[in-house]
Amino acid sequence: MKIGIVLSGGGIRGIAHLGVLKAVKDKKIPISMITGTSAGAIAGALFANDIDPYQALQIFQETKLLRFLRPAFRSPALLSLESTIPLFKKYLPHDSFENLKIPLIITATNFNKGKLVYFKDGDLIRKVLASSCIPGVFNPIMIEGEYYVDGGVLNNFPIEPLLKNCDFVIGSSCNHLPELDKFRNIKHVFERAAVLSINSDMEEKLKGVDFLIEPNALGETSLFDTKRAEEIFWLAHEETLKRIDELKNQIEIKEKGVIPN
């Protein structure tokens, strides 16, 4: 049986995917395909290249990834992600979708045409970075003469390829919002509105998910709150471990209903 996992976007909250993947790996649940966008594309690429999820967290912490970012002078954004390419080449030296250990599909938004694009072959790193280019924060990435930005602009939970290729779909989302009692400040208002926007079609998408892992209230964490990285990792890891028997049971039930090809 083919098990797929979809990893949402969510800035620093995407560290949660590493916690989920660590638990899934340690409990020997085989993943046959990964889809992701933005932070989910980064986590998915590292995992698909057989990098242990906790090691991926340590890479983020030890390299202080944000210090690799450079101001994007005379550009339509504040920072450039392209300056991080040498860092990613250290951990993805082949720079190729085809050489990953697990098939990976990621989304990005073609900014020239205003269309969603799925990347699944060819050069890897620039496409992962394109998927992560939050508009206005990171400069768009040019690929084959056209500009690309964050896939979450048009699809923050790219489950669609898994529905065609997998028998069982695990969803990892890091954008759960609790009910609101009061506004903290204007930054809080804007950030909550952004999360509400990317969550707007989740109800429909979840119809295709067999098992959802979504740590409570994580959507309240700021996109760039790097101080919470380790906390987010273990929060998601523990949430997954608590439900791992339930996940295995659901996989077994689905497997018994799958007719072999």
Residues that are catalytic: 38, 150
Q: Is 111 strand, coil or helix?
A: coil
Element (H, E) at 89: helix 85-91
Torsion angle of the four alpha carbons 182, 184, 186, 189, in this order, in degrees rounded to the nearest 10: -50
Element (H, E) at 171: strand 168-172
Closest CA to 178 of 136, 208, 220, 148: 220
> Is-contact 5 31, C-beta < 8 A?
yes
Rounded distance between C-alpha atoms, residue 56 and residue 79, angstroms: 23
Rounded distance between C-alpha atoms, residue 162 and residue 173, angstroms: 15
Instruction: Specify the residue for token string 């966008």.
Output: 37
